[in-house]
Chains A and B, each alone.
Chain A
Amino acid sequence: MSGAVGREAVFPTRQSLGLMKSKLKGAETGHSLLKRKSEALTKRFREITRRIDEAKQKMGRVMQIAAFSLAEVSYAVGGDIGYQIQESAKQARFRVRAKQENVSGVLLPHFESYTEDSINDFGLTGLGKGGQQVQRCRETYARAVETLVELASLQTAFVILDEVIKVVNRRVNAIEHVIIPRTENTIKYINSELDELDREEFYRLKKVSGKKQRDVAAADAEMEAARERQAAEQQSALKLDEDPAAPDVLGEQEDTDVIF
């Protein structure tokens, strides 16, 4: 597994090792944070799912009652009042306000319904007959629309949360299965490279010191030989001292170099 994710293209230096280590740490912190976020969102998501279920069942009942109250109106009025109501309604009595709710950093729209009681556009509809049924029908439908608004806000939250949870889970998985192993690999690689370099260096040092020793040994041997030669020369010089033509040490001629 870890072999498949490869490693990052970095130069195996100590600096990048430090970078990688801090990156790994960051990734681990981020992973645990994201995991917690995803759990919180999932919890919320489940709650919303449950509430959508409830709201849908409620909607079914309320809409049925509402449709039935419309039937009552048509029975009481004995005709079609739809057109008249459509024309006399000028302003919305039932209104929706949108708010935003923050759930672990996700902005969920929340619709809130309210009625403008001052707006009563068709209060006189069915004055002659069926007025009470019309008003009752309106109330029933207002309740039905309330349920619909609630359901709409839940559904929107559901869709958004679904998307966000997917993104968060993808990130969690990416960090868990790609970024962390890759960073670890990189660190391992850098470590191994650095070890390799260390070993090379050590070997080179060893080589150098070996050569130095050999050189020193050679130099020692030469010096030994020189000393021996000197000693032999002194011997011969002592012998030559009796010679008149003893060489003038302070004279022009050069001395042989002394090599230690």
Chain B
Amino acid sequence: MEGLFFNVSSGYVEGIVRGYRNSLLSGQNYNNLTQCETIDDVKLQLAPAYGDFLAALPPNPSTSALAGKMTDKLVAEFRYLMAQATGSTARFLEFLTYGYMIDNIALLITGTLHERDTRELLERCHPLGWFETLPVLCVATNIEELYNSVLIETPLAGYFKGSLSHQDLDELNIEIVRNTLYKNYLEDFHDFVTTHPDFRGTPTQEVMSEILQFEADRRAINITLNSFGTELSKQERRKLYPEFGKLYPEGSLMLSRADDIEAVTLAVSISADYKAFFDAVGLTQGGAGMGGMSGNSDGKSLEDLFYQKEMEMSKIVFTRQFTPAVVYAWMRLKEQEIRNVTWIAECIAQNQKERIGNFISVF
């Protein structure tokens, strides 16, 4: 039933995304890329997929320039989708941009806190996180003004409300602000896909809630692991955990009390997937400690495994019909692709071919 009228409004967008998906680099392409000797070769290999976007690059471009151009293509394609989408699909796509908006706002708040000229910061903002009132943030010269007159006008106002006041912006570390926003965003997004009448009971709810739960758990685990040895208190840390996901509530509670990796391992053991990750990177052996996180024998870190899992989930999304979740999956895959290419280009540029295979390819 749910697919009956989907194509009326959103079929075109879905079709386009499936087309985009086919232009993602395959394992064969990656193989070719790893054989390259120079960045120019990489550029040449990318030409079928990226075409015009790379044409403007000078010979032997820097890896960041390359990544920038690839992001430009992603942005252009996403904007096209935005323009085509209507109704709940459009709303869904807007949700996708909020994550980038959070990054942009965090950047601008950092700039304002240090009384920088926020105008030059605008260039550094991620184009997908651009919204109409973003340049207005430059008008604000102090945090209070920023909060009272500018932030409440942004689409993210709801995420600020209730959890952050303008005093917090002064004192809190910007990372905590960012993660609080992100937590609120994830919860809101999850709420949206599970309760919106257009999505409730559709494949969208199924796949998106699975992906978002994974995202939430990943953030919770990462925040816990990364907060060891910093001044982040346990109460503050707990506030950053999204309140849904496979680990919520028991696992989150255990995570919030965790003092070391052992405790984290214990907390995540309620989910078989995460337990497998922790086993794989050897965090379960007590002696491994912090060193275990960085590099073990096959060079895979916990983050790599999380990325891998995310990519697999995104790939599976394409097996579902009649859902805008494919857009989400395509964006994640595309971002991973940009990261992969950047990594390969970096390895080539720095002549460190040993770890060039350390990317994630799912096709």
B342 within 8 A of A: yes
Q: Are A76 and B107 in contact (CB under 8 A)?
A: no
A74 neighbours in B (Cβ, 8 Å): 342, 346
Query: Which A residues between 194 and 253 are near B, CB-CB below 8 angstroms?
Result: none
State in angstroms the CA–CA spacing of A74 and B114 once bound together.
24
B246 within 8 A of A: no
Q: Which of the 9-residue segments A1-9, A42-50, A64-72, A169-177 touches chain B?
A: A64-72
Interface 1/0 per residue, B337-348 and A, CB below 8 Å: 001001100110
Q: Are A87 and B303 in contact (CB under 8 A)?
A: no
State in angstroms the CA–CA spacing of A74 and B240 once bound together.
23
| Given A76-B303, A133-B303, A127-B226 contact (CB < 8 Å) | yes
B223 neighbours in A (Cβ, 8 Å): 127-128
Give the distance to chain A from B73, nearest Cβ to Cβ, in Å.
16
Q: Are B350 and A128 in contact (CB under 8 A)?
A: no
Q: Are B222 and A131 in contact (CB under 8 A)?
A: yes
A16 within 8 A of B: no
Q: Are A132 and B339 in contact (CB under 8 A)?
A: no
B315 within 8 A of A: no
Q: Which of the 9-residue segments B3-11, B136-144, B176-184, B200-208 touches chain A?
A: B176-184
Give the distance to chain A from B82, nearest Cβ to Cβ, in Å.
21
Give the distance to chain B from A86, nearest Cβ to Cβ, in Å.
9
Query: Which A residues between 98 and 134 are near B, CB-CB below 8 angstroms?
Result: 120, 123-133
Give the distance to chain B from A33, nearest Cβ to Cβ, in Å.
52
The contact of A71 among B174, B218, B347, by CB within 8 Å, is B347
Q: Which of the 9-residue segments B25-33, B152-160, B229-237 touches chain A?
A: B229-237
| Given A78-B335, A124-B176, A132-B303 contact (CB < 8 Å) | yes
A64 neighbours in B (Cβ, 8 Å): 350, 352
A83 neighbours in B (Cβ, 8 Å): 107, 110, 121, 124
B296 within 8 A of A: no
The contact of B226 among A84, A87, A126, by CB within 8 Å, is A126
A126 neighbours in B (Cβ, 8 Å): 175, 226
The contact of A123 among B111, B231, B293, by CB within 8 Å, is B231
Q: Are B174 and A84 in contact (CB under 8 A)?
A: yes
State in angstroms the CA–CA spacing of A136 and B126 once bound together.
26
Report how many A-B pairs have Cβ atoms within 8 Å.
92
B106 neighbours in A (Cβ, 8 Å): 84
Interface SS, B side: helix
| Given A76-B303, A78-B339, A124-B173, A132-B227 contact (CB < 8 Å) | no
B265 within 8 A of A: no
B198 within 8 A of A: no
Q: Are B232 and A124 in contact (CB under 8 A)?
A: yes
| Given A64-B350, A133-B303, A88-B174 contact (CB < 8 Å) | yes
The contact of A75 among B103, B114, B343, by CB within 8 Å, is B343
A131 neighbours in B (Cβ, 8 Å): 222, 225-226
State in angstroms the CA–CA spacing of A76 and B305 once bound together.
11
Q: Are A130 and B303 in contact (CB under 8 A)?
A: yes
B346 neighbours in A (Cβ, 8 Å): 68, 71, 74-75
State in angstroms the CA–CA spacing of A130 and B294 once bound together.
11
State in angstroms the CA–CA spacing of A175 and B235 once bound together.
78
Q: Are B126 and A75 in contact (CB under 8 A)?
A: no
B275 within 8 A of A: no
Q: Are A80 and B124 in contact (CB under 8 A)?
A: yes
A123 neighbours in B (Cβ, 8 Å): 229-231
Q: Which of A68, A88, A126, A131 has the most CB of B within 10 A?
A: A131
Give the distance to chain A from B103, nearest Cβ to Cβ, in Å.
7
State in angstroms the CA–CA spacing of A231 and B63 once bound together.
141
Q: Are A120 and B230 in contact (CB under 8 A)?
A: yes
Q: Are B107 and A128 in contact (CB under 8 A)?
A: no
The contact of B343 among A71, A79, A80, by CB within 8 Å, is A71
B320 within 8 A of A: no
B301 within 8 A of A: yes
State in angstroms the CA–CA spacing of A71 and B232 once bound together.
27
Q: Are A129 and B222 in contact (CB under 8 A)?
A: yes
B219 within 8 A of A: yes
B116 within 8 A of A: yes
Q: Are A129 and B230 in contact (CB under 8 A)?
A: no
Q: Which of A71, A74, A130 has the most CB of B within 10 A?
A: A71
B232 neighbours in A (Cβ, 8 Å): 124, 127
Give the distance to chain A from B301, nearest Cβ to Cβ, in Å.
7
Identify 14 new A-B residue pairs, CB closer than 8 A, beyond the known A83-B107, A125-B175. A64-B350, A68-B346, A71-B346, A78-B335, A87-B110, A88-B174, A124-B232, A126-B175, A127-B178, A127-B179, A127-B223, A129-B219, A131-B222, A132-B294
24 A-B residue pairs with CB within 8 Å: A71-B347, A74-B346, A75-B342, A76-B301, A76-B303, A78-B335, A79-B126, A83-B107, A83-B124, A87-B111, A123-B231, A124-B173, A125-B175, A127-B179, A127-B232, A128-B179, A128-B219, A131-B222, A131-B226, A132-B225, A132-B226, A132-B290, A132-B294, A132-B301
In the A-B complex, list the 6 residue pairs whose CB atoms are closest, starting with the nearest: A131-B226, A71-B346, A124-B175, A123-B230, A87-B110, A127-B175
Interface residue ranges, B against A (CB under 8 Å):
63-64, 103, 106-107, 110-111, 113-114, 116, 121, 124, 126, 173-176, 178-179, 182, 218-219, 222-223, 225-227, 229-232, 240, 290, 293-294, 301, 303, 335, 339, 342-343, 346-347, 350, 352
